[in-house]
Amino acid sequence: MTQSLEFTEEYRDCLQEVTNVAMGQAGDLLAKVLDTFVVLSIPHIEVMKPQDVSMALQAVDSSSSVSAVCQGFIGGGIAGEAMLLFNDTSFQDLAKLLNYDDELDRQAECELLMDTTNILFGACLNGIAEQIDMQFSFGSPMVLGQHQQLADIFNTKSLNWDHALVTEINYQLEGYDVNCDLLIIMTGDSIKRLLAKLNYLVN
Amino acid sequence: MTKDFLNDFHWLMDVLNNIDVGLVILDKDYNIQLWNSFMQNHSARTPSDILGRNIFESFPELPPAWFKRKVESVLVLRNSAFTTWEQRPYLFRFKNYRPITGVAEFMYQNCTIIPLKDTQGKVEHICLIVYDVTEIAVNRLQLQTANEKLHQLSRTDGLTGLLNRKTWEIELDKEFKRYHRHQQPCSMLMFDIDHFKSINDNYGHPAGDEVIRHTAAAVRESIRETDIAGRYGGEEFAVILVNSGGQDAKLVAERLRQKIEQSTVCYEDMSINYTISIGICELGPNLKGPVAWIDAADKGLYEAKHNGRNNSVLVPKT
């Protein structure tokens, strides 16, 4: 619990601000790449236990099927994984969005999910990295599951950490039936380093 | 100071050139600016062949629209992009170069595309990093094939290739539920080989096995793709005929019965003639569950045996 106590309101506000700014930049860049307006929710930031994450996810969606993609990042002692959840997303629309003309089989859907994740998440995390003067390296995105129940994709029982810093952002793309949630989960070890970085900004 | 710097630079270049991953630098017009030794060795093209040339002209296997879409996002977002062998097995078609240990036809590749900033911080070039993941890909593909085979094996009966009893019963359950949702007619054949024990006694068990195999083959030839045939017990078979009423099922049963009656199984020097008896039951609203349905078809089978064997009996629908 100590870690969550260390993460005071002040720091949360600061990280919130950093993330807001990053999201604003990301929205601009995404509009350029995707040629559409991206509606981003205000990021929700909290230190959570694995069970809390699954609760938060359950609020996102409980019954209908989702597709999920993960992408890891690491740099300067801060590491974590992002998970993008596509709620009832239309793959035709994703294909249109990325100018994908080939036939839409399962492989193609996989590629669309990975590319969209890479673009949405990359834009966001790079924005954050720039403000706290860091550089992250990214792993290749990995599709966790397609058209499945959330509980089958994200099993919190197998997670072996106590606390993590979770940032949740909702994306909607204007004119497209694409709606997804981005969860950035930073490991407990990273929180300290992140606090040190934020210290510069707070003081 | 300058000497140290030159030394470092020299080392770095040596490492980049000899590292066991492919490194390619492209400018905005997709002309090749760097081609390290991994790329040289696998493509058999030297820097003098390739530097300054357009990548799509040099490597027609690389689809321009697909690749440009990836690079575009790298240039604008200044963010890496990834391709994996699962989506596209390779960007550059490099033939398998290991005559002894190589089992794949070509090199499977994962690629990362990263933006390169110039001294002013502008991104005008990208770097393509090519990883040889043939071993991982081959292992994964072999595992997939093995899993599919195992799945198939766990569902079928070894001797006949028909569904085994457990799997057939799962399918039976599904069909029963489907009937109650959609009310489409559905019938079951339950049949066994007449006097199978004496076939085994007279000709030997291997011959008996051959008869069972022959029966399974006759069943397969007599039913449609969508019908569900299983080996229910030793010499007992069960077939679900979907979208078929009792009369249709009776036709199928009679065709099968006659086919078997008229054929001869040859095993070693022996010629074996045999017959089957069949019980038929169309599913009706009064059958309370899959087991009741089997029981009803079994009753037909019993009656067919009682009537002197080598015939089929359709029990009235209830």
CB-closest option in B73, B78, B87 to A111: B87
pTM of the model: 0.71
Residues from chain B contacting residue A36 (CB–CB below 8 Å): none
Verify that B78 and B113 share a domain, yes or no: yes
Mean pLDDT for B204-222 is 95
Does ipTM come in above 0.90? no
Residues from chain B contacting residue A99 (CB–CB below 8 Å): 65, 69
CATH number of domain containing B184: 3.30.70.270
Tell me the per-residue pLDDT of A5-16, one tens digit each, with 9 for 90 and over.
467 888 888 888
Quick check: is B54 in a domain?
yes
Tell me the per-residue pLDDT of A58-89, one tens digit each, with 9 for 90 and over.
656 556 778 889 999 999 889 999 988 887 66
Verify that B127 and B267 share a domain, yes or no: no
What is the pLDDT, as a whole number, of residue B131?
95
Residues from chain A contacting residue B81 (CB–CB below 8 Å): 115, 118
Q: What percent of chain B has pLDDT over 90?
A: 77
Residues from chain B contacting residue A101 (CB–CB below 8 Å): 65
Is B148 designated active site?
Answer: no
Indicate which residue of B105, B169, B175, B235 is catalytic.
B235
Between strands B265-267 and B270-272, the pairing is antiparallel
For chain B, positions 70-89, list CB contacts with chain A under 8 A: 70, 72-73, 76-82, 84, 86-88
Secondary structure string (H, E, C) spanning B194-220 = CCHHHHHHHHCHHHHHHHHHHHHHHHH
Verify that B190 and B76 share a domain, yes or no: no
Mean pLDDT for B75-81 is 87
Verify that B104 and B183 share a domain, yes or no: no
Among residues B115, B141, B167, the one where a domain terminates is B141
CATH number of domain containing A58: 3.40.1550.10
The whole-angstrom separation of Cα B287 and Cα B284 is 6
| A4 confidence band (pLDDT: 50, 70, 90) | very low
What is the pLDDT, as a whole number, of residue B303?
95
For chain A, positions 125-184, list CB contacts with chain B under 8 A: 126, 137-138, 140-141
Report the range out of A171-175, B7-11, B207-211 with the highest average pLDDT: B207-211
Domain ranges, residue B91: 2-141
Count structural domains, chain A.
1
Verify that B178 and B289 share a domain, yes or no: yes
The whole-angstrom separation of Cα A15 and Cα A123 is 17
CB-closest option in A99, A101, A122 to B79: A122
CA of residue A27 relative to chain centroid, distance: 14
Q: Would you say residue B207 has pLDDT above 80?
A: yes
What is the pLDDT, as a whole number, of residue A58?
61
Tell me the per-residue pLDDT of B56-68, one tens digit each, with 9 for 90 and over.
999 999 999 889 9
Name the amino acid, one letter, at B36: N
Kindly determine whether residue A110 and residue B86, on different chains, have CB atoms separated by under 8 Å.
yes
Kindly determine whether residue A101 and residue B65, on different chains, have CB atoms separated by under 8 Å.
yes
Which of residues A154 and A4 earns the better pLDDT score? A154
Domain ranges, residue A20: 2-202
| Phi, psi at B115, each rounded to 5° | -80, 145
Count structural domains, chain B.
2
What is the pLDDT, as a whole number, of residue A5?
46
Kindly determine whether residue B77 and residue A122, on different chains, have CB atoms separated by under 8 Å.
yes
Quick check: is B149 in a domain?
no
Mean pLDDT for B165-172 is 95
Verify that B70 and B114 share a domain, yes or no: yes
Quick check: is B31 in a domain?
yes
| Phi, psi at A2, each rounded to 5° | -55, -40
Verify that B93 and B14 share a domain, yes or no: yes
The whole-angstrom separation of Cα B73 and Cα A79 is 24
What is the pLDDT, as a whole number, of residue A60?
61
Verify that B97 and B237 share a domain, yes or no: no
Which structure tokens are listed for A12?
């949360």
| B1 confidence band (pLDDT: 50, 70, 90) | low
Mean pLDDT for B183-207 is 94
Kindly determine whether residue B73 and residue A115, on different chains, have CB atoms separated by under 8 Å.
yes
Which of residues A135 and A152 earns the better pLDDT score? A135
Are B241 and B252 in contact by the 8 Å Cβ rule? The answer is yes
Verify that B39 and B109 share a domain, yes or no: yes
CA of residue A85 relative to chain centroid, distance: 9
Least reliable range by pLDDT among A31-35, B249-253, B263-267: A31-35
CATH number of domain containing B129: 3.30.450.20
| A33 confidence band (pLDDT: 50, 70, 90) | confident
Those residues with Cβ within 8 angstroms of residue B241's Cβ, 6 or more apart along the chain or in another chain = B186, B187, B188, B189, B223, B227, B248, B249, B252
Among residues B141, B165, B194, the one where a domain terminates is B141
Verify that B72 and B131 share a domain, yes or no: yes
Quick check: is B150 in a domain?
no
Kindly determine whether residue B82 and residue A140, on different chains, have CB atoms separated by under 8 Å.
yes
A79 touches chain B (CB under 8 A): no
Are A116 and B79 in contact by the 8 Å Cβ rule? The answer is no
Among residues B141, B168, B202, the one where a domain terminates is B141
- A141, closest residue in chain B (CA to CA): B82
Verify that B171 and B238 share a domain, yes or no: yes
Q: What percent of chain A has pLDDT over 90?
A: 5
Tell me the per-residue pLDDT of B288-318, one tens digit each, with 9 for 90 and over.
999 999 999 999 999 999 999 999 999 998 8
Helix (H, G, I), strand (E, B) or coil at B240: strand
Report the range out of A138-147, A183-192, B127-136 with the highest average pLDDT: B127-136
